Structure 1
Amino acid sequence: MFEFTLPSLGADMDEGTLTEWRVAPGDTVERGQVIASVDTAKAEVEVEIWRDGVVHRLVAEPGVTLPVGAVMATLLEPGEDAPPVAEAPAAAAPVVAPVAAAGGAAPVAEAPPAPAPAAPAARRRVSPAARRQARQLGVDLDTVTGTGPWESVTIEDVDRAAARAGAAPAPARAAAAAAPARAPIDKAAEMRRAIASAMGRSKREIPHYYLSEQIPLARALDWLTEYNAQRPVTERVLLAALLLKAVALATRRYPEMSGFWTDGEFHPAPAAHVGVAVSLRQGGLIAPAIHDVADLALPQLMAALADLVKRARAGSLRSSEMSDPTVTVTNLGEESVDSVYGVIYPPQVALVGFGKPTRRPWVDGDAVRPVPVVTATLAADHRVSDGRRGALFLAEIAELLQHPERL
């Protein structure tokens, strides 16, 4: 038997709230299967399990906030028998008072046993979509009857409750309006606190150094134009995919840019799982990973990037996407900034930034001509690499972008 604990989904996560179980006792689960949803300060995350097994007991109840490392469930190894359930001790035989002898005192009737204390109300089981719908419609989930599995509240239950509230008689609506409103959870403030914690830790613990290089993009953009002209709009590749692929391939030659600093030493990553910085519409930032970027063909990478950004903004990410990034890329080209100097996300050891491609005068032999150029920056951990290796890493990215057909 083994325990399934709440995983850390990033340096800025100390706790999470279990919102939904996707499994029940007795279910067989496989490595990588989503078994629960957990709400963090940044997003609601689908949590995967990393061992095959059979669910034995669900320890945590939906709605409970747990610290990282807390036991959420226990599971049996494949083929392992469940431990025997301890039998409850037999109830003691009732003691019968002897019948009083004639003329003796009558037996005193025993007082009836005190009623058992009422069991605490079960916590509500609410699906993530239903929680979001309830917040948007102003529905109090305590008033909603669940019709889903385990009497969980579904989005349809919330819609029905909202419809009933709209049709409630005037006195009921007035009473509801008079009731003190619960303070809404400020997710934006929670996210800012999480970001402040992680970035403050980064600046305290990581000795950053910064480098930048201007990279000509004429060949890359010309190749993209020709490549996309032969494909439908839905299959076209953006420059962002080329930049991610170039960074991932460059880490193969300079592995000290991809990995983790933990327990006082550097642990290089066996593959480049590139964290993509995504700005959220409600404010804040999140950087989930695309796995094995160096091995993905450009169409696959483009599809993965589009899917990741969409799910990040919808709050539908997997735990592996949050915990696996080995190097992060931030691209502020859409915001019209020339360059970005980022802060490394611990325990990672490097962050690559790209600004907006702009046309600049470029010396080509004896001629000067306008060329699209992007400024690439590197924030790196001086405990792991030095400036020369960082400069060579940026030069490798630049060289790869001069041969886009090889990406």
Structure 2
Amino acid sequence: MIKFLMPNLGADMEDGVLVEWRKQPGDFLQKGDIIADIDTQKGLIEIEVFDEGVLEKILVKEGQKVPVGSVLALINDGKGEEIRESSGDNPTPEVPKILEPQEQAKTKSTEEHRIKISPLARKIAESNGIDLTLLKGTGPEGSIVKEDVEKAISERIANKPVPQPEEKTKEAPEESVNVSRTTSDSIRMAVAAAMSKSNREIPHYFLEKRMDMSKALEWMKESNKTRPVQKRILPVAMLIKAVAKALDEVPDLNATWENGLQRKNEINIGFVVSLRSGGIMVPAILQADSKTVEEIMETLNDLIPRARAFKLRSSELSQSTFTITSIGEGGADKVFGLIYPPQVGIVGFGEISEQPFAEEGMLGIRPVVDVTLSADHRATDGLIGSRFLAALNKHLQNPESL
């Protein structure tokens, strides 16, 4: 029997609200199945299960606030392990009350008018002003589920007339801004908590190296000639792959600091995504070392829109082993990141720009990028950090190896 725990989705998370169970007792679970939705500061997160078995028992009710690490459910993996339950899990049933005819009629009337709806569906409906009495539920026993509400929202948008310029009012934009500000404030508070913890507890050291990007960009340009526009590779995909390969050579940076250095077997690269409404999210490119540059680009094209729509899975928020932050075009020349605990390193890429660059006694103008490493001095030192930057540069100078 397996205890399914409330996951930790980051250093800033202490608890979350279990909004809706996607699976019910008796359902067979496969690795990767979505078992529940959790409401956190980072939005509504889909929680995955990482073991196979039958959902034996649900221990937490929908709508309940749960601390990280709490047991949410029990999964029977068929190995015969027993988990004893406390007497509090099986309360004595109440003796049914015998109602008078008037009370029976009142109770029956109340039941007839009570709307059966999942907590998640109710939350979405209230946020979008959907009249529940007009919905027909397709869930168990006719209950209204998330899909019913989303369908109603889609139909309302489709049937809503497009206003003429003179008919535009201030109400709609103001409502949108307010929602964005609320989300942005929540995200910024979560980031602030994590970064405050990082700055307070982690002894950072910083290294910097300027890297020639001419060979990598030329390889990318040639590779993109045979690709359709929607599948073209961007420099960031090459940078992520190069970082993954460098971490494979310098594994002490692909680790966490939890009662000492804990090296990780998988290389899961967290990538900082700026949100339209303000703030950032850091979803993970899982097993980046085993992905090709093309596959990393496809993953980014999927992850970034979902991050900005707050539709990430728990594994994408909780399993990063190292983080990348990239300024991109039109940004600063350098960026020095703060480590996201319990990780032990973060690499920052400034804007790729043409600058004077000397090599083998020859001076020329080349596209270069300033790369910085922020690392935890408890876990590594400057020598190990320098080896990582050297390995990263080696792979960028040999892009065909990516």
TM-score after normalising by structure 1? 0.80
- In the TM superposition, 1:65-214 aligns within 5 A as 65-78=65-78, 125-127=118-120, 131-132=123-124, 134-135=126-127, 137-139=128-130, 147-150=137-140, 151-154=143-146, 156-157=148-149, 160=152, 186-214=182-210
SS of structure 2 residue aligned to 1:221 = helix
Shift of 1:25: 1.6
Matched, 1:22 2:14: no
Shift of 1:86: 8.9
- Compared with structure 1, are the counterparts of its residues 390 and 17 closer, same or farther at alpha carbon in structure 2 (3 Å cutoff)? same
Q: 1:236 aligns with which of 214, 232, 244?
A: 232
Shift of 1:369: 1.4
Q: 2:321 aligns with which of 311, 317, 326?
A: 326
- In the TM superposition, 1:260-299 aligns within 5 A as 260-263=256-259, 265-299=260-294
CA distance in 2 between partners of 1:368 and 1:361 (Å): 7
- Compared with structure 1, are the counterparts of its residues 44 and 207 closer, same or farther at alpha carbon in structure 2 (3 Å cutoff)? same
String of CA shifts for 1:168-207, please: whole Å, max 9, x gaps: xxxxxxxxxxxxxxx9792322222211111111111110
Q: Determine if contact 2:331/2:351 at 8 Å carries over to the other structure.
A: yes
Q: 2:248 aligns with which of 243, 247, 252?
A: 252
Two-structure CA RMSD over aligned residues (Å): 3.6
- Compared with structure 1, are the counterparts of its residues 221 and 55 closer, same or farther at alpha carbon in structure 2 (3 Å cutoff)? same
Amino acid at match of 1:195: V
Shift of 1:406: 0.7
Matched residue, 1:100:
none
Q: Determine if contact 1:30/1:53 at 8 Å carries over to the other structure.
A: yes
Amino acid at match of 2:381: D
Q: Determine if contact 1:144/1:158 at 8 Å carries over to the other structure.
A: no
Shift of 1:80: 5.8
Shift of 1:36: 1.1
Moved over 3 A (4+): 79-83, 85-89, 118-124, 130-134, 137-141, 143-146, 152-163, 364-367
Shift of 1:373: 0.5
CA distance in 1 between partners of 2:285 and 2:238 (Å): 14
Q: Determine if contact 1:28/1:54 at 8 Å carries over to the other structure.
A: yes
Matched residue, 1:52:
52
CA distance in 2 between partners of 1:324 and 1:311 (Å): 17
Matched residue, 2:218:
222
Q: Determine if contact 1:144/1:153 at 8 Å carries over to the other structure.
A: no
Amino acid at match of 1:59: L
Q: Which one has the bigger helix percentage?
A: 2
Matched, 1:311 2:306: yes
Amino acid at match of 1:152: I
Matched, 1:359 2:354: yes
SS of structure 2 residue aligned to 1:334 = coil
CA distance in 2 between partners of 1:270 and 1:224 (Å): 29
SS of structure 1 residue aligned to 2:185 = helix
Structure with the greater alpha carbon radius of gyration: 1
- Compared with structure 1, are the counterparts of its residues 382 and 355 closer, same or farther at alpha carbon in structure 2 (3 Å cutoff)? same
Q: Determine if contact 1:134/1:158 at 8 Å carries over to the other structure.
A: no
- Compared with structure 1, are the counterparts of its residues 347 and 146 closer, same or farther at alpha carbon in structure 2 (3 Å cutoff)? farther
CA distance in 1 between partners of 2:314 and 2:237 (Å): 23
CA distance in 2 between partners of 1:127 and 1:86 (Å): 26
Q: Determine if contact 2:272/2:281 at 8 Å carries over to the other structure.
A: yes
Matched residue, 1:9:
9
String of CA shifts for 1:362-392, please: whole Å, max 9, x gaps: 1233432110000100000000111122112
Amino acid at match of 2:208: S
TM-score after normalising by structure 2? 0.81
Matched residue, 1:33:
33
Shift of 1:61: 3.0
Shift of 1:357: 0.3
String of CA shifts for 1:68-106, please: whole Å, max 9, x gaps: 1233223323376999x99989x9xxxxxxxxxxxxxxx
Matched, 1:43 2:38: no
CA distance in 1 between partners of 2:374 and 2:244 (Å): 16
Shift of 1:303: 0.6
Shift of 1:7: 0.8
Shift of 1:62: 2.8
Identity rate of aligned residues, in percent?
Answer: 37
Structure 1 unmatched runs, 5+: 92-111, 168-182
Q: 1:401 aligns with which of 381, 396, 399?
A: 396
369-378 or 359-368: bigger deviation: 359-368
Q: Determine if contact 1:127/1:155 at 8 Å carries over to the other structure.
A: no
CA distance in 1 between partners of 2:79 and 2:371 (Å): 53
Amino acid at match of 1:355: G
Q: Determine if contact 2:210/2:369 at 8 Å carries over to the other structure.
A: yes
Task: Report how many residues are paired.
Answer: 368
CA distance in 1 between partners of 2:332 and 2:123 (Å): 37
